[in-house]
């Protein structure tokens, strides 16, 4: 068997890893042991897995491998934000960003190289779609981040407490690989994250959102960005296929299917000057969401070179927030982190292929975890 034919165990979900060992005639606990070595200890060599028999280690080395994506660059901001540029198979690069906060550390991961959905405020969409990431390339972002903390800090203490799918790509368009990666994030023999602390953010791929609840019960964020179809059709073109009413019905269905009935969705709303930032938009949004268990995350647009949109004024931003709060919503404003390493919202480098070797700013929805309200920016 050649190197390329080896099974990469890094991206196998717990069920698939068990099936792999069952085929070898090994018991279930072997899969759990190997998972712990890979995901909890950051080991990528079978010979280091000391609680496996030597013959099994030799066998595994013949037929399998643990192959993370390649770490190209790691940057650390003065505020503790870290950013990793990661090369995936084929040479394209994606980024993962870690944002430390007082009681948690949030990793933002990518699910695709580029994106096909072409939201008007997002430069990832302008770069077009290249391909889906494999499950190994998705979980590999978490593996590399966790490993970098171990290497830097000299301890195995888990510092990534939250993961958000808010990097490049629409996660629901890479459904199977994203779900496999989520299962690893939640598995006690892998990363053991709480379902509340893993958040999938979608622009509204309704048929797949309808499927999601059959596979997982992680937190949900919705990139809404507009309070009506006419405006959302401009900003988030997939809305023409799955309009707001259909999307919100699907969101309510997902929430209703969760075992914990008190969960809510986070509604992401990027505020763009003169486009969707008026008081009437805020009031329309409040009315629109009246029967959707939700909290609202307001994100000031970060300008980038390929866009004519402008950042919302602070006055409009706080007025918008206040209208929502007065209507009874929890509404937060995203704070900027990692500005000095271009890791703030909308500043991830979009080096997606060999033709695009310049640092491209693009506007992503949010970077930090939104499964809980973050903090208010106090008025000026
Ligand atoms: S905002 Fe999200 S869904 Fe829209 S183009 Fe960008 S990455 Fe794709």
- 345 tagged catalytic: yes
pLDDT of residue 153: 54
**What are phi and psi for residue 144, nearest 5 degrees?**
-65, -40
> Is residue 270's pLDDT more than 70?
yes
Q: Nearest C-alpha to atom 5 of ligand 1 is from which residue?
A: 125
Closest CA to 286 of 296, 276, 275: 296
The answer for residues whose C-beta is within 8 angstroms of residue 73's C-beta and 6 or more apart is 84, 85
Whole-number Å distance, alpha carbon 326 to ligand 1 midpoint, is: 30
pLDDT the model gives residue 312: 96
Catalytic-labelled residue, pool 93, 108, 122, 345: 345
Q: Is 170 in the pocket of ligand 1 (CB under 6 A)?
A: yes
**Ligand 1 pocket member 203 (CB < 6 A):** yes
DSSP 237-268: GGGGTS-HHHHHHHHHHHHHTSSSTT--EEEE
CB of 224 closer than 6 A to ligand 1? Answer: no
DSSP 94-131: EEEEEEEETTEEEEEE--EEE-SS--TT-HHHHT-EEE
**pLDDT at 359 exceeding the cut of 90:** no
Ligand 1 neighbourhood includes 125 CB (under 6 angstroms)? yes
Residue 362 scores a pLDDT above 50: no
CB 151 within 8 A of CB 84: no
Is the pLDDT confidence value at 108 over 60? Answer: yes
User: Given the CA of residue 365, which atom of ligand 1 is nearest to it?
Assistant: 1
Three-class SS of 14-30: HHHHHHHHHHCCCCHHH
- Out of 94, 111, 114, 115, mutate this one to test ligand 1's pocket (max ligand atoms within 8 Å of CB): namely 115
How many angstroms does the Cα of residue 237 sit away from the middle of ligand 1?
Answer: 10
Q: Please, which pLDDT band fits residue 303 given cuts at 50, 70 and 90?
A: confident
- Cα 148 to Cα 76: distance, rounded to the nearest angstrom: 11
Give the least confident one: 23-32, 86-95, 176-185, 354-363. 354-363
Per-residue pLDDT band for 380 (boundaries 50, 70, 90) equals very low
Closest CA to 296 of 273, 327, 272, 274: 327
Atom of ligand 1 nearest to the CA of 362: 6
State in Å: Cα 124 to ligand 1 middle.
6
In terms of C-beta distances under 8 Å and separation of at least 24 residues, what long-range contacts does 189-192 make, across chains too? 189/14, 189/31, 189/32, 189/35, 189/36, 189/39, 189/40, 190/14, 190/35, 190/36, 190/38, 190/39, 190/40, 191/39, 191/40, 191/142, 191/146, 191/158, 191/160
Assess whether the C-beta atom of 199 lies below 6 angstroms from ligand 1.
no
Mean pLDDT in residue range 4-25: 95
CA of 177 to the centre of ligand 1 (A): 18
What pLDDT sits at residue 338?
A: 62
DSSP E strands, 197-330: 198-202, 219-223, 265-271, 294-300
The mean pLDDT of the chain is: 87
The tens digit of pLDDT for each residue in 115-145 reads 999 999 998 888 889 999 999 999 999 999 9
pLDDT tens-digit profile of 146-187? 998 877 655 545 489 999 999 999 999 999 999 999 999 999
pLDDT at 126: 83
Distance CA 301, CA 226 (A): 13
Token pair listed for 148: 């970098």
Residue 124 Cβ inside 6 Å of ligand 1? The answer reads: yes
User: What is the pLDDT at residue 157?
Assistant: 52
Q: What is the pLDDT of residue 212?
A: 98
State mean pLDDT over 328-353.
63
Mean pLDDT value across residues 308-330: 97
More confident residue, 242 or 377: 242
Q: Which atom of ligand 1 is nearest to the CA of 124?
A: 6
* pLDDT range class, residue 79, cuts 50, 70, 90: confident
pTM of the model: 0.89
pLDDT at 25: 96
Query: Residue 353: CB partners within 8 Å, gap ≥ 6?
Result: 91, 92, 113, 130
d(CA 310, CA 312): 6
**Residue 4's pLDDT is what?**
57
Task: Give yes or no for residue 108 CB within 6 A of ligand 1.
Answer: no
Tokens of 77: 């901001």
Q: Is the CB of 76 under 6 A from ligand 1?
A: no
The answer on pLDDT for 371 being more than 60 is no
170 CA → ligand 1 middle, Å = 6
355: pLDDT strictly greater than 80: no
Q: Catalytic site residue 360?
A: no
CA of 233 to the centre of ligand 1 (A): 14
Place of tokens 């640092």: 359
């Amino acid at each position: 068997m050649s190197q390329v034919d080896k099974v990469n165990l890094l991206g196998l979900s717990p069920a698939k890893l068990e099936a792999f060992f069952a085929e070898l005639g090994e018991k279930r606990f072997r899969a759990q042991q190997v998972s712990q070595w890979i995901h909890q200890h950051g080991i990528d060599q079978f010979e280091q897995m000391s609680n496996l028999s030597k013959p099994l280690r030799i066998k595994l080395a013949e037929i399998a491998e643990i192959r993370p994506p390649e770490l190209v660059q790691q940057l650390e901001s003065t505020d503790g934000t870290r950013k990793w540029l990661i090369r995936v198979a084929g040479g394209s690069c994606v980024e993962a960003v870690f944002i430390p906060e007082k009681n948690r550390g949030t990793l933002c991961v990518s699910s695709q190289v580029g994106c096909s959905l072409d939201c008007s405020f997002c430069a990832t969409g302008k770069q077009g779609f290249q391909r889906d990431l494999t499950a190994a390339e998705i979980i590999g972002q978490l593996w590399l981040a966790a490993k970098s903390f171990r290497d830097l800090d000299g301890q195995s203490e888990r510092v990534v407490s939250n993961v958000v799918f808010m990097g490049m790509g629409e996660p629901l368009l890479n459904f199977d690989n994203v779900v496999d990666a989520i299962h690893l994030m939640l598995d006690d023999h892998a990363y053991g994250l709480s379902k509340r602390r893993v958040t999938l953010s979608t622009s509204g791929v309704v048929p797949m959102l309808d499927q999601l609840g059959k596979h997982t019960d992680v937190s949900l964020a919705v990139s809404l960005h507009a309070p009506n179809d006419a405006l959302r059709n401009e900003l988030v073109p997939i809305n023409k296929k799955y309009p707001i009413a259909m999307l919100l019905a699907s969101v309510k269905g997902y929430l209703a299917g969760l075992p914990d009935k008190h969960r809510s969705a986070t509604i992401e709303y990027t505020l763009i000057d003169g486009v969707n930032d008026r008081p009437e938009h805020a009031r329309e949004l409040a009315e629109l969401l009246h029967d959707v268990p939700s909290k609202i995350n307001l994100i000031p647009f970060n300008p980038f070179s390929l866009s004519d949109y402008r950042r919302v004024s602070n006055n409009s931003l706080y007025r918008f927030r206040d209208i929502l709060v007065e209507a009874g919503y929890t509404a937060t404003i995203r704070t900027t982190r990692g500005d000095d390493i271009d890791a703030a919202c909308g500043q991830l480098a979009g080096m997606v292929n060999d033709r695009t070797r310049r640092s491209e700013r693009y506007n992503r929805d949010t970077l930090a975890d939104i499964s809980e309200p973050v903090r208010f920016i106090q008025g000026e």
